[in-house]
Structure 1
Amino acid sequence: MGKYHHTQSINGEICLICEKAKLEGIHLFQSFICMECERDIVNTKTMDPKYQFFVYQMGKARILQDRRQA
């Protein structure tokens, strides 16, 4: 975890949140979020400890976007 890279393979794309290869999901700032993580994000309350993890992981999307533009 904690690596700022985005790859695609025959096994799918690497999820920005769980960092596992998945076949289905959405793209946010050219970063991939798998369907399972997207569902967890949408259903997590702001007071849940997982919420801060999701915020941190999604912050990587901005870093990746900045690197692509550099």
Structure 2
Amino acid sequence: MDELTGNTCIICGETKQDGIHIVSEFICDACEAEMVHTDVQEEKYHFFIHQMKQIWMQRNA
């Protein structure tokens, strides 16, 4: 993590300062907020699930 440049979000791919770290990956505040407000019936929900799976796949590789 570079304090001057931020972290790259595993969901949107943008570099942001604020967010959360899960295992060794970063999710920005904006994506986190969108994820928790997305209904399971929405197409975007499946995208979020796919991106989150990448965290566990990278950890177990």
TM-score bracket for the superposition, by shorter chain length: 0.7 to 0.9
The offset of 1:12, in angstroms, is 0.5
How many residue pairs match? The answer is 61
| Aligned residues: CA RMSD | 1.6
Structure 1 pair 9/60, CA: closer, same or farther in 2 (3 Å)? farther
2:58 aligned with 1:64, yes or no?
yes
1:6-60 CA-partner distances (Å, limit 9, x unpaired): x757320000100110100001122100000000000000001100000001111
**Identity %, equivalent residues:** 34
**What TM-score do you get using the length of structure 2 for normalisation?**
0.88
Please identify runs of 4+ aligned residues in structure 1 that moved more than 6 A: none
SS class of match (1:32): strand
* Structure 1 gap ranges (5+): 1-6
2:27 aligned with 1:33, yes or no?
yes
